[in-house]
Chains A and B, each alone.
Chain A
Amino acid sequence: MATSTESKPQSADDALAARDPKLLIHIYEMMVLTRAVEDRMVAMYKSGDLLGSLYTGHWHEAISVGSAAALGDGDYMAPIHRDLGAHLCRGMEPWQVMASFMGKATSPTGGRDGTLHYGRLDLGIYNLPSHIPANFPVATGMAFAAKYRGEDRVCLAFCGDGSTSRADFHEALNMAGALTLPCIFVVENNQFAYSTPVSMQTASQDFAGKASAYGFPGVKVDGTDAVAVYDAVEEAVTRARKGDGPTLIEAVTMRMHGHAEHDPADYVPREMFEEWRKKDPVELFERRLLDSGVLSDATAKETREKARQHAIDARRKALADPMPDGSTVEEGVYAD
């Protein structure tokens, strides 16, 4: 069983120039947009635009975008609250995400749900409940349906390191293996489950290694390296499409903000933040693209400015959008 638990270091010289430049630029643009929207939303949180707390994915951009970029249009996805980038890749609009955090009528749930719960089935995205990884068994079902119908679709599911302690993580992975389902499970190891460090969550040395217990490959990658994430997911997607079953991918990064914006994360050693601050996935990827000539300074600047403006426009629209009508509260409990 090909279980690799050693992640390769992010290299400046990995022949980026030989890769499809359109794909690289797409990943770059989505990562930059993700960062711009989340930075804008942090400001919105601070200024009281949002209903409650804000969950961001700073330092998860390479994972969410790198993974989602490896999917085809017809594939399914079951992301979590660190994966704005994956949503944007599938066509979610930044203003819809903001509207969700504001409880607006125009949010994907019309204000019935809110904050980070903004998945859209028409984009192939499962809208998860709060109990992660409750999305994992659901992801096996979407993959099951694809296999049942003989369709060429896979399902990509995300969870955090904290989720791996739960029973549904085990049941989903075990079942996906037993039923040979076209699933890709990505564990975003960001070192903390709310305040609890990995060392207090498990005696295991890593999460990728857990795959060997389920009888399918586990791969550990540098979660700040968009190309490494893309390659690992792409290989897993290919494997799933061939009917060879699931793969578990552990992508290692750091949660650079608190669990949510209300949380100052005082439990994180400050040196840890300082160390990881040097590994900003967006800056690292931009630097590599510039070095390899895929991206010019002018284009980089333009991309960042476009993303910033996009986020500003999104905020303006979300703020102006209406709240739902309270008299509709009893509608939609049941489907017709």
Chain B
Amino acid sequence: MPTKTDTEGVTYLEAIGQAMMSEMEADPDVFLIGEDVGQFGGAFKVTKGFLEKFGPRRVVDTPIAETGFTGLAAGAALVGLRPIVEYQFADFISCAFDPIINVLARHHYRTGDAMPVTMRAPFGARLRAGPTHSQSVESYFAHVPGLKIVMPGSPQDAAGLLISSIRDNNPVLYLENKYLYRRLRSDGPINLDPIPLGQAKVVREGRDVTLITYSAGVSQGVEVADELDKEGISVEVVDIRTLVPLDIDTIVTSVKKTARAVVLHEAARRLGFGSEIAAEVQEKCFWHLDQPVARITAKNTPVPTSPALEDATIPQPAEIAQTLREVARA
């Protein structure tokens, strides 16, 4: 279904808003809950206009209570509603760690009851926001059975994957890269068809090396790959799109073709999701690999505030290009 979007394209932020708007229009059981989501339209204005359109019954401003409203969402979901929970920053989701892990994630396994809760959280660095406003939280949750984790890297995927997340009968952690909100724009109109969770996408075909990434790493990786083309290095970029479930088959197919694999993410290195991908790739592609799997990640530090410091820990294009060069040419 096409949207009335203008031909200039849609930002990542607008895509998220359009997907939510469309699901709330289609399903009266879908409601939005979180801090400042209503009259303020959300800290990043993703839900601007929602209160006016849907009213306070379906757009619920809460007290500052991440544990409280996450548990509330669980209870509402158990009896048939489909809450969309907004955490103002992914950094604050640690306040809701207990209900996410012990209430949401294992409820279906324990009881067989559906738990359709979508948890949206803006995460990530490069906004000079410092150690408690810039974190990548996916690895905390990727270890927990029962959660799905969605991390879109384009406006079209942001919309399609969010629609699938809302319709999913499981708790889904949907992580929005806040650096992309207004910086990433689709080439043209987007559609609001659901994109299935658990399907990776080859966003750029190449021959020499496979770059496996997600979220902001996708656009960043494609830009670097386009530059490396001029040096005669052909990079295939695989956007995994959902960490859980992980479409390992698409990754394996690509790595078997290129025989070289590099993983890129802006989360810290130690037990970052790249560790899991590297382990899977070596188990499934060891005899096809010409080089060890390389990881491009943030350093094992908190995310510092000052630009000079933050840039020194978060992967930069030059580092990405250099690693791809080394792996492709070795």
Contact = CB atoms under 8 A, between A and B. Distances in A.
Contacts of A110: 112
A178 interface: yes
B111 A109 contact: yes
A334 B242 CA distance: 15
Find the residue from A78, A136, A148 having the highest chain B CB count within 10 A.
A148
A167 B70 CA distance: 13
Interface stretch (A12-20, A127-135, A316-324): A127-135
B232 interface: no
Given A121-B113, A140-B72, A175-B62, A332 B78 contact: no
Interface string B88-120: 000000000011001100111111111110000
Contacts of A131: 98, 102
B324 interface: no
Nearest to B102: A129
B75 A137 contact: yes
Contacts of B79: 76, 121, 141-142, 145-146
B102 A172 contact: no
Contacts of A335: 108, 114-116, 169-170
Given A168-B68, A336-B169, 4 more contacts: A137-B99, A138-B99, A142-B76, A175-B72
A141 B108 contact: no
B68 A175 contact: yes
A119 interface: yes
A174 interface: yes
Interface residues of A, number: 42
B233 to A, nearest CB: 39
5 contacts: A145-B81, A168-B71, A172-B68, A333-B145, A334-B108
Contacts of A172: 68, 71
Interface in A11-44: none
Nearest to A140: B72
B75 to A, nearest CB: 2
Given A134-B103, A141-B72, A179-B60, A332 B80 contact: no
A126 B116 CA distance: 16
A262 B264 CA distance: 51
A141 B75 contact: yes
B273 interface: no
B102 A130 contact: yes
A332 B73 contact: no
A112 interface: yes
B77 A141 contact: yes
Given A142-B75, A145-B76, A145-B81, A174 B110 contact: no
Contacts of B109: 112, 332-333
A213 B103 CA distance: 27
A107 to B, nearest CB: 11
Interface in A93-117: 108-110, 112-113, 117
Contacts of A134: 71, 98-99, 102-103
Q: How many of chain B's residues touch chain A, expressed as a range?
A: 35 or more
Name which of A121, A138, A168, A174 has the most chain B CB atoms within 10 A of its CB: A138
Interface of A: 76, 78, 108-110, 112-113, 117, 119, 121, 126-127, 129-131, 134, 136-146, 148, 155, 167-168, 171-172, 174-175, 178-179, 332-336
B69 interface: yes
Nearest to B244: A334
Contacts of A178: 62-63
Given A112-B110, A121-B111, A131-B102, A140 B75 contact: yes
A141 B63 contact: no
Contact of B68 (A129, A140, A145): A140
A144 B72 contact: yes
Interface in B44-76: 57-58, 60, 62-63, 65, 67-76
B152 interface: no
A299 B179 CA distance: 73
A335 B170 CA distance: 6
A113 B108 CA distance: 11
A142 B78 contact: yes
Contacts of A137: 67-72, 74-75, 99, 103
B146 interface: yes
A43 B79 CA distance: 37
B85 to A, nearest CB: 11
A120 to B, nearest CB: 8
A129 B103 CA distance: 7
Contacts of A109: 110-111
Interface in B203-247: none
Candidate in B62, B68, B146 with the most chain A CB atoms within 10 angstroms: B68
B31 to A, nearest CB: 7
B111 A113 contact: yes
Contacts of A334: 108, 146, 148, 170
Nearest to B56: A179
Contacts of A121: 78-79, 111, 113
Given A131-B102, A144-B76, A334-B148, A171 B111 contact: no
A168 B76 contact: no
B57 A175 contact: no
B10 to A, nearest CB: 30
A78 B74 CA distance: 13
Contacts of A119: 111
Nearest to A141: B75
Given A145-B75, A179-B60, A138 B103 contact: yes
Nearest to B66: A171
Contacts of A148: 31, 57-58, 76, 81
